[in-house]
Chain A
Amino acid sequence: MSTATDNHASQTLPARPKELAMHFDNLHQQFHSGKLGMWLFLGQELLFFCGLFTAYAVYRGNHQDLFHYCHWFLDWKLGAVNTVVLLVSSLTAAWSVRCAQLEQRTGLLITLALTFICAGAFMVVKYFEYTHKLHIGATWGGSFSVATEDLPAQLLERYPDMTGEKLKTMGAGTFFAIYFCMTGLHGIHVLVGMGIYIWLFIRALKGHFNRRYYGAVDNVALYWHIVDIIWIFLFPMLYLIG
């Protein structure tokens, strides 16, 4: 301790990597600090979505019939396509971490771009789902007003005397409030993720990452996995359970 008389400890240590921030001793410590921070952030994300999952459980308990009727408004095929798209993007996200670790620059750029493209595809499908619902008036709260001829065929098959007016008085708006809030918040997370993947792509293009410094790729992939996992829960809860 008597040797460290300099204000900048960095100057007394030989070969301090340029990626190492002033207040860390080594890249290992820096990497794991970032990673722990990301895990805590993911914990925070789960609790953030928890409010919505609780609201879903409460309203589903109170309006079981309503959730049964309304789930036919959601097209499970589109939901399944989106699930596959997100799972593939999780694969490419994990792959990008491996590429960064192995310093495979081309592979890293390709996997980052693929993740971004999958996220974009997810949002395109989501866009068509949303516009269709807005178009037929399957919306939240008191604004729900679907004409009987726009009701889903499966619903009318099983309950031929069901009308749009009946659904409205039963409070179908509540189902769509929950649906739009949950998928909307998830969609915002996907959009944020797309933004971050652009940033990662630019950094990768500039050659910022190497086998000792790839924390950003790793942490963003972690974030991307949680966005994926939340969808894995949303899909059956909203689209599949009748």
Chain B
Amino acid sequence: MAGGVVEKPADPAAGGDVYRPLAVNYINKFKGIGNWLITLDHKRIGIMYLGAVTFALLLGGLFAILLRTELLFPGTAANPEVIASNDWYNKFFTLHGAVMVFLFIIPGIPASMGNFILPMQLGAKDLALPRVNLMSLWLYWIGTVFFIGVLVLGGLDTGWTLYPPYSSGRDVQLTLIFAYTAVFILGFSSILTGLNFIVTMHKLRPPGMGMYDMPLFLWALYATSLIQVLATPVIGITLGLSIVEHLFKIGIFLPEYGGDPVMYQHFFWFYSHPAVYIMVLPAMGVQSEIIATFSRKHVFGYKAIAWSSIAIAAIGFIVWGHHMFVSGQSPTAGIIFSFLTFLVAIPSAIKVFNWVATLYKGSIDLKTPMIYGLNFIYLFGVGGLTGLFLASTANNVHLHDTYFVIAHFHMVMVGSVLNAFLGGVHLWWPKMTGRMYSEFWGRIAAIFVFLGFNLAFMPQFVAGTRGMPRRYANYLDEFTIFHQLSTIGAYLLGLGVVIQVTYLIHSLFKGKQAPPNPWGASSLEWQSDSPPDHHNFTAKPIVMGPYDYENWEYVSENRGWVLKREVVETRKTLAKADH
């Protein structure tokens, strides 16, 4: 009797037009905050991660609003300050970058939605290693505490990459050590999550579900996890060495003790470039689910999408040098890295073409997640194509460290990842909370996000090609219009996010009860109740293809979509025959 599936007949006249949720679900099964803090339940851990990364998103967003406000006017030599001193401006952009990258985007989708959804899409009761999962959450919190320590102790102005020599040539700086420690610890949180996901996908798939029967979200998480496990330790050792270096002056990276700062850049980007794919691959996974679900059509090119995730992860390991075209790397290395970087465009484009082909002749339903899905295709298209400009070495020398780069990676990291994050939250919100959000406000906010985002970053492409360097607190008068448009866009984007937080929280208290499957999606998590039982499923889910939408039929708004009776009957007969 998984939510409305087996026992309740599909005919609304017979079953009534009411969905009765479970009286005891994973939220109210155990009470007390202490129980949440030591829970091994992947759903609770996912929810806590979701809360934590949303907090990080708002914090990082606050710094973005501050730095954009500082850039509202050019500033003159006599009066450079708009709202803050240049030193504070440096701290704003450093903290914006560091908080967004390390606390929001990297853990964002895998740790929150991945944790919650992955075992359910496998029809499993939990991740394979629940204690490792809890440990990962605690490491995330400890890392966050160190980051908050950085804020409390006066901030940091090295840029989020913490490059020496920006981070050298001074006395032991406590905020810097805290930042290194925070990222070091967050790295292990990320490694443990990835490790757990790989084990779970290999060992807890139900009988009848091969690797190619998994939803594409899981393939994307698999590729992400590979990067997490294999790349993150390198930043771990890099920052570990940096801590030791600052405390004992040992001379690995700091030139004043005989170290090599370019080696830091190599080590840093050996992780941080693959980390870009830690951010975007899960987003692409969410995207595949959203596009297929709201086109009501089997996803086009399943294997191509699945393997392009793996290809992106693999190629992503060998392109880090494109961050260092102007760091004194040899021209030969530059050419090789340039070529390899162009190579990543192929699997990325394969995904986009497949999503578009899925839309073709689909029965498109413009629900809130789908609006984010369409935003994603457009913004990722722009972000990906401008990446090709930067991958060619000659262009790169001109565009390096300008606003063009800023606009490019925001298109990918924010345009795509934030859109997929928000789309995923809306897609799985009914499952996680058992409540429907306001579709009207959802669409309004999604449009705000889209317009605000474009207004914020399109002008930056133009400013960048005209030579506006990144990280400058003041600028020439001719750039004023681009900066002002961009700042207005940032405000709109911020407004969109605030609207969302408001109606999502409102829906927790006043939202309509969600049916088990409000979208007609076909992956296994939709066969559970909303919100799910402590053990995820009250009966073993019927294993079927993740995009077999024809197995479901729409009953009513209250009941949502239920499995067709003949599907259930056939499976029962088959199961009996097996015995």
In the complex, how many residue pairs between chain A and chain B have their CB atoms under 8 Å apart?
135
- Over the window 42-59 of chain A, the binary record of Cβ atoms lying under 8 Å from chain B Cβ atoms (1 yes, 0 no) is 011101111110110010
Assembly CA distance A7 to B125 (angstroms) = 11
Contact A37 B130 (CB under 8 A): no
Q: A2-B539, A44-B195, A44-B230 are in contact. Are A23 and B125 (CB under 8 A)?
A: yes
Assembly CA distance A7 to B248 (angstroms) = 56
Task: List residues of B (509-560) whose CB comes within 8 Å of A's CBs.
Answer: 533-535, 538-540, 542
Q: A37-B199, A140-B250, A171-B258 are in contact. Are A47 and B126 (CB under 8 A)?
A: no
Contact A33 B204 (CB under 8 A): yes
Q: Enumerate chain B residues within 8 angstroms of A50, measured Cβ to Cβ.
A: 233-234, 237
Contact B257 A33 (CB under 8 A): no
Chain B nearest CB: distance from A8 CB in Å? 7
B1 at the A interface (CB under 8 A): yes
Contact A7 B229 (CB under 8 A): no
Assembly CA distance A33 to B198 (angstroms) = 10
Q: Enumerate chain A residues within 8 angstroms of B126, measured Cβ to Cβ.
A: 22-23
Chain A nearest CB: distance from B525 CB in Å? 16
Contact B250 A1 (CB under 8 A): no
With both beta carbons as reference points, the residue of chain A lying nearest to B572 in the complex is identified as A2
B46 at the A interface (CB under 8 A): no
Q: A1-B539, A48-B233 are in contact. Are A7 and B244 (CB under 8 A)?
A: no
Q: A23-B204, A40-B229, A47-B234 are in contact. Are A181 and B241 (CB under 8 A)?
A: yes
Contact A23 B130 (CB under 8 A): yes
Q: Which of A2, A36, A185 contacts B6 (CB 8 A)?
A: A2
Chain A nearest CB: distance from B517 CB in Å? 18
Contact B257 A37 (CB under 8 A): no
Q: Enumerate chain A residues within 8 angstroms of B534, measured Cβ to Cβ.
A: 7
Chain A nearest CB: distance from B6 CB in Å? 7
Q: Which of A5, A41, A51 contacts B241 (CB 8 A)?
A: A51
Assembly CA distance A24 to B234 (angstroms) = 33
Chain A nearest CB: distance from B125 CB in Å? 4
Task: List residues of B (359-416) whose CB comes within 8 Å of A's CBs.
Answer: none
A180 at the B interface (CB under 8 A): yes
A141 at the B interface (CB under 8 A): yes
Contact A142 B257 (CB under 8 A): yes
B124 at the A interface (CB under 8 A): yes
Q: Enumerate chain A residues within 8 angstroms of B195, measured Cβ to Cβ.
A: 37, 40-41, 44
Task: Give the bracket for the number of chain A residues in contact with chain B.
Answer: 35 or more
A232 at the B interface (CB under 8 A): no
With both beta carbons as reference points, the residue of chain B lying nearest to A34 in the complex is identified as B129
Contact A8 B535 (CB under 8 A): yes
Most chain B beta-carbon neighbours within 10 Å: one of A21, A44, A171, A178: A44
Q: Which of B200, B252, B571 contacts A181 (CB 8 A)?
A: B252
Chain B nearest CB: distance from A16 CB in Å? 13
With both beta carbons as reference points, the residue of chain A lying nearest to B191 in the complex is identified as A44
Contact A141 B539 (CB under 8 A): no
Q: Enumerate chain A residues within 8 angstroms of B101, measured Cβ to Cβ.
A: none
Q: Which of B233, B240, B260, B539 contacts A5 (CB 8 A)?
A: B539
Chain B nearest CB: distance from A51 CB in Å? 4
Assembly CA distance A49 to B244 (angstroms) = 15
Contact B263 A141 (CB under 8 A): no
A193 at the B interface (CB under 8 A): no
Q: Enumerate chain B residues within 8 angstroms of A41, measured Cβ to Cβ.
A: 195
Q: Which of A34, A51, A177 contacts B237 (CB 8 A)?
A: A51
Chain B nearest CB: distance from A65 CB in Å? 15
Q: Enumerate chain B residues within 8 angstroms of A49, measured Cβ to Cβ.
A: 237
- Over the window 122-136 of chain B, the binary record of Cβ atoms lying under 8 Å from chain A Cβ atoms (1 yes, 0 no) is 001111111010000
Contact A7 B540 (CB under 8 A): no
Chain A nearest CB: distance from B84 CB in Å? 37
B141 at the A interface (CB under 8 A): no
Contact B258 A36 (CB under 8 A): no
With both beta carbons as reference points, the residue of chain A lying nearest to B24 in the complex is identified as A7
Q: A1-B575, A43-B229 are in contact. Are A141 and B251 (CB under 8 A)?
A: yes
Q: Enumerate chain A residues within 8 angstroms of B129, measured Cβ to Cβ.
A: 33-34, 37
Contact B234 A4 (CB under 8 A): no
Q: Which of B119, B128, B240 contacts A33 (CB 8 A)?
A: B128
B202 at the A interface (CB under 8 A): yes
Contact A1 B1 (CB under 8 A): no
Q: Which of B229, B251, B572, B575 contacts A173 (CB 8 A)?
A: B251
Contact B539 A174 (CB under 8 A): no
Chain A nearest CB: distance from B165 CB in Å? 16
Chain A nearest CB: distance from B221 CB in Å? 14
A32 at the B interface (CB under 8 A): yes
B231 at the A interface (CB under 8 A): yes
Most chain B beta-carbon neighbours within 10 Å: one of A1, A2, A4, A50: A1
Contact A45 B203 (CB under 8 A): no
Q: Enumerate chain A residues within 8 angstroms of B196, measured Cβ to Cβ.
A: 37
B181 at the A interface (CB under 8 A): no
Assembly CA distance A22 to B40 (angstroms) = 11
With both beta carbons as reference points, the residue of chain B lying nearest to A45 in the complex is identified as B233
Q: A2-B539, A7-B535, A33-B199 are in contact. Are A181 and B244 (CB under 8 A)?
A: yes
Chain B nearest CB: distance from A30 CB in Å? 9
Q: Enumerate chain A residues within 8 angstroms of B128, measured Cβ to Cβ.
A: 23, 33, 37
Assembly CA distance A62 to B203 (angstroms) = 46
A143 at the B interface (CB under 8 A): yes
With both beta carbons as reference points, the residue of chain B lying nearest to A172 in the complex is identified as B258
Q: A22-B126, A23-B204 are in contact. Are A47 and B248 (CB under 8 A)?
A: no
Chain B nearest CB: distance from A144 CB in Å? 9
Q: Enumerate chain A residues within 8 angstroms of B258, measured Cβ to Cβ.
A: 141-142, 171, 173-174, 177
Chain B nearest CB: distance from A14 CB in Å? 16
**What are 14 A-B pairs with beta-carbon distances under 8 A?**
A1-B542, A4-B539, A7-B534, A23-B119, A23-B124, A23-B126, A23-B130, A37-B132, A43-B230, A47-B234, A49-B237, A142-B258, A178-B252, A181-B241
Q: Which 4 residue pairs of A and B lie closest in terms of their CB atoms, listed nearest first?
A: A51-B237, A48-B233, A23-B125, A23-B126
Other A-B contacts than A1-B572, A22-B125, A47-B233, 20 sampled, CB-CB below 8 A, are A1-B540, A2-B6, A7-B535, A22-B535, A23-B119, A32-B203, A36-B198, A36-B202, A37-B196, A40-B229, A43-B229, A50-B233, A51-B237, A55-B252, A140-B250, A141-B250, A142-B258, A171-B251, A174-B259, A177-B259
Instruction: Please report A residues at the B interface, Cβ cutoff 8 Å.
Output: 1-2, 4-5, 7-9, 21-24, 29, 32-34, 36-37, 40-41, 43-45, 47-52, 54-55, 58, 140-143, 171, 173-174, 177-178, 180-181, 185
